[in-house]
Every structure is written in C-alpha cells, then in structure tokens.
Structure 1
Amino acid sequence: MQSPRSRRWLPASFLCAAALVGVLAPLPAAVQAQVLVAKGEATGLIIGLKNSPTADETLMGARVAGRERAQWENAARQGRERLTRLMKNAGLPQGTVGEAGNDQLLRFDRPLRGEALANAVRRARLHPDVAWVEPDVLVPRLAVPDDPGFALPTGQWHLQAPDVGNLAGLNLPSAWDDTKGSASVVVAVVDSGIRFDHPDLPVLGAGRMLLGRDLVSELSISNDGDGRDADPSDPGDGVSAFDATQPEFAGCNAANSSWHGTFIAGQIGAATNNASGVSGLNWNSKILPVRVSGKCGARLSDLLDGLRWAAGLPVSGQPTNTNPAKVINLSFGGDRTCAESPGYQSTIDAVTYAGSLVVVAAGNQDRGLTRPADCRRVMTVASVRRDGAKADYSNFGSNVALAAPGGSAEGGASTYLLSTSNAGTMGPAAPAYEYKQGTSFAAPQAAGVASLMLSINPFLSPRQLIERMKVGARAHVALGGLPACGTPGAGPCNCTTATCGTGMLDAHTSVQLATGPAVVIKPLGTVEPGTVITLDGSQSVAIPGRSIVSYQWVQVSGPPVAVTADQTPSAKATLVTEATYEFSLTIVDNLGRRGEDRVVGIAAMPAPPAGGGGGGGSTGQLWGLSLWAWVLAVALSQRRRRPR
C-alpha cells in the first residue's frame, strides 16, 4: 500500500501524469533472512576453474575482434570442454555449459534448491580443478525505499547549484557552461531495459538511445516471451499476486513494474532544452541500454555477461558490441560480499582493464556494503538528502567513493528525484514521469558527470575519473541533532569520509579537473622473477592545444627495485622476486596541470599444468577420497536422524 505522503501528480502541462511509488522501508533482519532462504533456488552454478582459459590476462580486458576474438572463442570452447568433463567426473547435475562473465557456467536442466543445491555446490568445490563456485541465483534490483522538469521547487533540485536550502545540489548549470556532452561518449545502463516510446528517450536516428541488447536468458523472468535478443525494451517487471505463488518466483513479493532502467536512462540522458519533460545530466552522449533483469531481478550470470557486453568484450553467442561504453551504470545490490563472489570481481576487473568505468549504487539497507558496492575498482556512490545528510536508507562504508543526491521522503515531491517512467502497473502503458528515491538513482548522477568529463578528455582512465571526482567533491556537512554515520539502522546521519566517501559530488569542479593531461600506461601482467619490464607511458596525452613537459616514474609498493630512465615516457625495472609490484607515473603539461595513474605487475613462477579434469593421479585420488568421505558422513548423519 502506498503511503499518503508518497503520491504526487504532475501538472497537466506534462505529457502524462506521473504515478509515484510508495516508500518501501528496509525489511527487518529476521524477515530478510527468511527471504534469502526462500529465494535459494538456483538455475545453475558459476564455476571458477583453476588456470581458467577465459580469465587469461591477455584476453580478459581486451575489446577483441577478428583473430583476437577467435582466440577468445577458442578459450571459451576449452572452458566448456573442461567443465563438461568436470560435470561428469564430479557427478554434478545434468545441464548445459557456457560462460558467466569471465568464468564458466553450468546451467541445470531443472532448478535446484535446498539440500540438492547444497550437494551440487559441495561436489563442485571438492573437485581439484575448481578454484571457487557459487550458485547462479536471482540478484534483485535495489529495493526502492520509496520536468515539469528542471524548475524548482518540486522539479530537479538535485541538478541545481548548491545553496542554503539545497546543500547537495550537483552544480550542473556551471558544468554545462564547459560541456554539454559529446556524441562520441557512450554510457551503458545495465538494468531492466528502457521504454523507447518515451518522448524524452528517442532512439538513435531521432535521438541518442542506442539499440543495445537483451541478455535476459530465462523465459520465466524475461516477461517478453523469448530469451536473449537484440531488443532491450522493458516489457515490465511487475510480479502479480498470482506470480508470487509460483515456485519460480519464490521469495518475490507482488509489486508493480519498476521501470527502473527507464528512470535511470532519463537521469543520465533525457532529451534536454527541448521545452518538454525533464533534463538529463548529459545533453549529447549516447545511451546504451543492456537489459539483464526482469521479474524478481537478474540472474547473476546474465548480469555478468551484461557488464562484459556493455564494455565491448566478447560474450559467447552474442554479436560484438560496436558501441562499447566508457561508463557503465549498475544499480544492483547483493546479499553477499564481493570477496565471496570471485566471478563478480573478475568480471569487473576485465571491464575496468578494457577502459570502462563501472559506477554502482551503495545499496538501500542502511548497513555495510555488499557486492558490487564493496568490489575493487568500482565507483560506489552513497545517497544524501537535499540537506546533505545521509539518506536514512543508504548503505555506507570505506569503499564508497563519494555521495550524490538520491532523494528522500521527508519533504515529498520537493525532496524526491524526478525522471522518466511509464504509467503501466504490469505491462507498459503511456509514457510518464515519476518521483523516486534510492541509491539506484544516486549512482547515475556520478555516471552522468563521468560522461561529461570524458566529453572533454576522452583519454581519462576509470581510475582517473574516480580520483578526479573525489578530489572535486565538496566537503560533507554536519547538521545539528544528527549522529555521525557508522551504525547500521541509525537512519539519517552526518556523513564522514570513512562512511560516505570524500564528499558530495560537484559536477562543475569535476568537469574542470578533466582538463588535465591523462596518463595512459601499457598493462604489465605476470612475468617470471628476474624479468626486466618496460614501464610504458608513451601513449599518455595532453588535451588539444597543450603538451606534456615532464614524466616521473616512482615505485608505490612491493619489494624495492631500481627504476631506470624514470623521467622518460618509458622506464625500466627488474622484478627481482615473486611479489606484486605497483608503479606510478605522474605527468605535467605546459600549463602546470598534472595527471597520474598506476600500473601493477606480478612476478610469479609459472603454474603447473592443470589436471585433466580430475581424472587421475594423486590429486584426482585425493579428490575421490574426499568425496567418498563426504558421502559417508552424510549417510551416517541421515542414519542418526532416523526415528527409533
């Protein structure tokens, strides 16, 4: 049921009245636990193989084509063959094999849950060729605790310049004086798809929305009657009362369609300065919708493939993305940490190495971070209210880069965020505009600002974008009567740098910081100890009209080594012992602007050849003995539980 405070209607001058969603308060811990158990069904296993061919460093981050794509396809085939042998040798449930992001996927012939799923996971983990395994489960879209456009007081306050009544404003008008975006920059929205019929989201040819891809593989949640295809239109992700009673939707509550991806696409790139609707952060860049979620959320395997495809990396069975995104918005949460999900981190690594910034939402449970918000190399964004306090729902933690407006309920329409939507409750109806709140909608603010920065300086790396936005952030505010953030469930609180990042996102300062030179370093990868490596920063660039006048290489971490020719574009160093080494290159242009980035090299002895599917030798025998010991233990346990 909607809260009375949560419903507002837009003036008649709009194309359609906007229906507000009600505030969805975070679930109590006990209820969350029940939901996790109820949603324990898995359609397969995502498996990380030791010495995985598809996770090879030479392939994982390359936007490959031609011969190189053939090499990746060959590696993928090898992975499928290894997984097929492993499935038989380990006695895993029957199914089909494929990829999930950078790793392997066993898709069961029928979904498993409970003890049957636990047995399959244990069997896979015991196999000597397996580095890690996790079930392929549904990842829910972030719970939404629940123009006329740009004008205040009830319009897009979050885009305005900050002032006394609007401390969290993004300061876009000043940023737009420098750039309104470039058509050469592509921003991907990996989400529920979009409604191409919305007048503020015109397709390419009439506007800036690229056609993208639908990567939802499971018919029961796709809601469009088919699997993966070339149409990322959002058919609606509503769950009816009847749906909620069906086994495939166990753990899903009945709910109207969210139009989640449509809302986010409008935040980043709604048609602007057209006397209609709302304003987007970027007026000119392309938006690439990648549909990965449907009813109840997204399969983890679909989500990981969606990230790869958005970045222009190969995905088996899918055509090459000819419009790779330099910025990817991912507003999904998770119920486990990134450390417990190596496949998630591996895919993020590959996407980042390919040069795409992944911007993620902190989450809406008012607690510490979970995947992907706690993964390395992502840009995690927390949510603040209009007055600068942390929103009551926003998660927090040390991996948060900065905070951005996410909307809040205390002031109704004047404190929610406004963007593009649809009036349909289940399937699509008339285009609409809607007010929402959540970290799902804070993250696109940072993604949009990153796209403006790339419009000025397309050579900025993901790390450089994050660091420059952090440097340009405004300091957090301290409001009287609120505690410092850090305690789960505390509600609104004063952000600190340890909980909400360096500060509040400022678009104008971030865009100004984009005008410095960009360091571009050739990746190092893994070499044997004693190898002389070349630290190659020769592709570093200054923006047009400026030149680089100095280079400086320094070692940041690892066993100390000598860096020779350290004031040239290409220095050298010897990685003397097995360890991880990190080096930094700082460049300065002729106006004194600085640029800096880092590169990691690993010295390690070559790994021994992988076992032949676990079928022999001492390792295979040990695996067999371990499996039989586990079977015996289960049998004894069941015998003890028999009634006497």
Structure 2
Amino acid sequence: MAPSSAADIGGLIVKIAESGVSVLALARASEEALARASQEAMADVAGSTDVSVGAAIAPQTRVLEFAEPVTQAQAEQAAAQLQSRADVVWAEPDVPVRIASTTPVIPSDPLFAQQWDMWDADRPVGGYSVKAPLIWGTTTGSPDVVVAVIDTGIQEHPDLDAQVLPGYDFIRDIDRANDGDARDSDPADPGDWISASDKLKPAFSECRVLPSSWHGTHVAGTIAATQGNAEGISGVAPGVRILPVRALGKCGGYLSDVIAAMRWAAGDSISGVPANPTPAQVINLSLGTASPDAPCSRAQQEAISFVRSRGTVVVAAAGNDASPVSVQSPADCADVISVTATSRTGALAYYANYGQREGDITLAAPGGDARLDTRILSTFNSGLEGPEQPGYALAQGTSEAAPHVSAAAALLYTLGVTDPSAVERRLIAAVQPFPDDVANACTATRCGAGILDLSRLTVDEPVVTPPQSVKDIAVSWRYGAAAAIAVLRWPAPSGDAATKYRWRVARAGGEYGDWTLTQPRLARIPGLRLNRAYRVQIQAGNTAGWSAPTTVRLRP
C-alpha cells in the first residue's frame, strides 16, 4: 500500500510516554488528558472539532479520531503541539492509504503489444507511455461519459462500432463535405483525399495531393477502441462513448463550423440542427488554425468559455509546426488543456509545437516519431479515397497525443470528478517527469507539467494556489483620429504558473465592464477616447482561481 495524497485527515496516531504503570492503566489514565490536549490543539489550528480516543494499535500507541476531517497541514500542526507535551513521545497524522496499482492489466487485444503509447513493455515500468494498464484495474470508463471527437467524422470499424453514438455533420461547404450535401445527421467520414484534379479547383488550390487521412477514426481509436474483443487494439478509456461531430472535410474546414460543432457537442442549441441528446463531458480538438500566426479569436474563446461553463473539458492539440504554441489556436485559448507530443524516449517530438512561457502547454502525451519508427497505432480505413476495409495504421502528431489526454479526462469523469477545473488540476498532477538526458528534451516551459501517467491519476485534490498578481505592465498606444488602442504587456507572475489572463476597463469614476479573457500576456483595449481617463484591471489565473487584480490608469 502507498500513502494517498488526500488532504482530508481523520485523526492522529500518538505514542504515550512510559511511566512505570501497566499499559492498560496508562491508557486509562492518559485517555482523558490526551483527548483534552488534542481538542485544545485542534481548536488552535482548525477552529473547533471533537476528538475521541480510539483503538490501541501498538504498545503505548493510540489513535485519536476527529469528528470531522481536517487538512494535512492542520493535522501536522496539531501533532506538533501534542508532541511538545512531556507525556507524548510522538504524534503524527493518521493519513489515508490506498492500494498502489503496481500490476498492469494487459488486455487480450492482438495488436496491443504494438501500442507502446499505452504500455511500453520494452522499458521499465512502462517507460514513457501513458501506463494505461495501471489504471484499468480501477476503471476503463463508463458508458455514461461521452467524448466528442470534432474532426473528419468516423468510419465504421469493428473496434469502434459499439462505442460510437449518433452525431452530426456541421460542414456547410458541399465541396469540402464531399458527401453530396451540407449539414446533415450523418457524421460518417466519406474520405478527404485531394486529387490532382481537385487541386485545379480554387477552393483546393493551396492543398497538397494526398490520400484520405481517416483522421477522426484514428483519433477515436486512441480514446475508446473496444478492449478484450479479440480485435486489434485497445483505447485508453474503452468503456466510454464517442460522439462523432464532423467539422473537417477535404482540405480541412472553417472555424465557424468548428465553433458550431463545439457548442452543439456541449448541449447548446444550434439553429436548424436537432438537439444533442448525449452532450459530451470532454471535447477533443485534434485540429488547429491553418495560418501559422492565428492566435485565439474572440469567437473561439466565447465558444470555449461557454463549453466550460456547461461542465465540459476542452482538450486541444498544440500543433505540428515545431513553433511556439502561442500562435496556434485553439490550443492557445484560455480554459483549454493544450497537449504537445513526446516520442518513445520522452523527448519533445521533432514536429511538435512548444511553449515559450510556463503555462503555454498544459502537459505532454505520446505522439510518436516516424524518425525513430515509433508512431501511434490506431483504427483506420484502407481506402485511398473513399472508404474500403477497416483496419489499423500508424500515425504521428499532436493529434495523436491529445486523445490520450481526452481519454484520461473521461476516466476522471467516470470516477466522479466532474468540474472542468478540478479535472484539469488532476491531469496536471498525473504526470511523470521529463527525462533530461535525451536530445530535444522537454522542460516545464516547453512541454507543460510532464508526460501523462495514468498510474498517478487520482480523484484526490492536488495542492495548487492561484498565481501572484501581474506586475511591471508596459503600455504602448496606437492612435486614430478620435480614439486609441492601448496595448498592455507584462511578464509571467511568480507563484504557481498562470494559464490564463483577463482584463476589464472602466472610465474614471465609472463602473468596470465585463472581464475579457486573453491567453497571451497581452491585452489590446480598443475604443479609448482621446483625453479621457480610464482604469484597467488585469488578473492572472489558473485552475485554483484568480490573483488579486492589478490596476493600471490610462489616459490616451
């Protein structure tokens, strides 16, 4: 058994000093004094709590039981006070313990041995895989938990068919949809190939000639491919359900379709679209803006904030341009769990986008590395254009990393953690450290908290505090005829890493407006009238909450 990281402590273990009397007499004589001293100690550190003397567990050693649990810090303070007494040898918190999952549950799926991203049998304790077999003894997910895969759609597959719910196709452009119509209730992937003749069309002139990617099918398999069916592979969370929501077609898609798909997936009403009977708890976005310099837009941020308000977690791939994630949306939006990719050695994958500031990337997960012949195996289709035979294929990318994290989030929902911020905090805590003896090594700035490690996944609340207040704000101006834009920049605050920022503005003497979320350490505040005074408040935030606001006075 191993110590739990739970904060709730139910009592103390106390050893009483020897005094030349029998253990029984000692226990009786000491019980009243010990209980009284414990109550005094707990009143000092936790207000007031009832304490009773429980069972003897060893010679001269008793359990003091609290009527209500206290935090570990409070219990340690009370133990220190008791230990200062002459009749107490030592005192310590009676911490919870849990079974330590040390034996992996290896499924019978015939291709599982090739899934190094789930469990790397060639390296000690699973290497830099997500170590899924070490959580499967606890849970494989619940069919009541839904992960929306907003992607190219999903093709029929014997390893997926039992997991897939009815979804929707949100592509409005008929040519991109490639299925003969625009929006409809069929999210099946008809193929997204680009032929030489397609490339002659204006809509596809910037696209490369490629076979169909079956991208959504590959992503879905990593999340929830059926386990133990004598077929192919296993997903990270084979017990959950997949909601296929199609927003990408030939040569990608449009942000407007992705936004509509996100809102619908979380249970919002979209005009002309039937209601979603199975809203998702998790949304996987293995996609990104086509422009290399397209940070999170207001439309995206509003959609993500809405989704989060509905209790849904958004997981996004960091992108595959080997560049800073701060210019890749939606991974750079606030309230998104952004995921970069690692190789089998635990290094940052050569193609993966990375962070320039701590908090840019939330965490890393296996994405594969073709140069090392270690890509990610998942469900696929053999068709070069339209669908043919279901099968399996290897792929690499942050698109392959993100679904590991989406599946982990679904496992947390299964275990009863249903607040998005609480889910994010536990994912950040469920990581193994990056190796530092590899080329292209990760750091917390480049790759986030660590590499997803499901053996460390727990419902216990990790200790996280809000970041400290923003300081050293620099202001620059862009002037128009009657108004100006203020551009505010600031360095990362100290304390636990900030993952988001927000600002609001008020005229001098007036009330503040609504908060505006912004992910980078930058605020653009338009529409400031010349020769008028304004106040701007800025806060840094993370999953634990917001810092105290910092106020800046402006006069354009």
Partner of 1:374: 332
Compare relative contact order (CA 8 Å, sep 6+) and give the higher one, 1 or 2.
Answer: 1
The CA distance in 2 between the partners of 1:340 and 1:379, in whole Å, is 14
Where 1:453 maps in the other structure, the secondary structure is helix
* Paired residues, number: 375
Partner of 2:303: 347
Spell out the pairing of 1:11-410 with structure 2 (5 A cutoff).
148-151=110-113, 155-160=114-119, 163-164=123-124, 167-195=127-155, 197-202=156-161, 207-334=162-289, 335=291, 337=293, 339=295, 341-369=297-325, 370-397=328-355, 398=357, 399-410=360-371
Spell out the pairing of 1:382-531 with structure 2 (5 A cutoff).
382-397=340-355, 398=357, 399-412=360-373, 415-459=374-418, 461-480=419-438, 482=439, 493-510=440-457, 512=458, 514-516=459-461
The CA distance in 1 between the partners of 2:258 and 2:462, in whole Å, is 34
Where 2:203 maps in the other structure, the secondary structure is helix
Q: Against the structure 1 CA distance between its residues 149 and 220, is the aligned structure 2 distance closer, same or farther, given a 3 Å change threshold?
A: same
Q: Against the structure 1 CA distance between its residues 467 and 318, is the aligned structure 2 distance closer, same or farther, given a 3 Å change threshold?
A: same
Q: TM-score, normalised by structure 2?
A: 0.63
Q: Against the structure 1 CA distance between its residues 583 and 364, is the aligned structure 2 distance closer, same or farther, given a 3 Å change threshold?
A: closer
Spell out the pairing of 1:513-592 with structure 2 (5 A cutoff).
514-516=459-461, 579=537
The structure carrying a bigger strand percent of its residues is 2
What amino acid sits opposite 2:376 in the alignment?
A: L
Where 1:360 maps in the other structure, the secondary structure is strand
Residues 461-505 of structure 1: per-residue CA shift (max 9 Å, x gap) = 22221221112211110125x2xxxxxxxxxx0000000001110
Q: Higher mean Cα deviation, 252-261 or 340-349?
A: 340-349
The CA distance in 2 between the partners of 1:583 and 1:495, in whole Å, is 24
How many angstroms does 1:508 deviate by? 2.0
How many angstroms does 1:167 deviate by? 2.9
Where 1:444 maps in the other structure, the secondary structure is helix
Q: Against the structure 1 CA distance between its residues 419 and 527, is the aligned structure 2 distance closer, same or farther, given a 3 Å change threshold?
A: same
Unaligned runs of 5+ in 2: 1-108, 465-502, 512-534, 552-556
Unaligned runs of 5+ in 1: 1-146, 483-492, 520-524, 532-576, 585-595, 605-644
CA RMSD of aligned residues (A): 3.0
What amino acid sits opposite 1:177 in the alignment?
A: G
The CA distance in 1 between the partners of 2:255 and 2:319, in whole Å, is 17
CA contact (8 A) 1:272 1:279 kept: yes
Where 1:178 maps in the other structure, the secondary structure is coil
Aligned identity (percent) is: 41
How many angstroms does 1:527 deviate by? 13
Q: Against the structure 1 CA distance between its residues 530 and 240, is the aligned structure 2 distance closer, same or farther, given a 3 Å change threshold?
A: closer
Residues 587-632 of structure 1: per-residue CA shift (max 9 Å, x gap) = xxxxxxxxx8437999x9xxxxxxxxxxxxxxxxxxxxxxxxxxxx
Which structure 1 residue ranges, 4+ long, deviate > 4 Å from structure 2? Answer: 336-340, 515-519, 525-531, 577-584, 599-602
Where 1:381 maps in the other structure, the secondary structure is strand
CA contact (8 A) 2:426 2:461 kept: no
The CA distance in 2 between the partners of 1:175 and 1:303, in whole Å, is 32
Larger Rg computed on CA atoms? 2
CA contact (8 A) 1:193 1:232 kept: yes
Where 2:408 maps in the other structure, the secondary structure is helix
CA contact (8 A) 2:296 2:333 kept: no
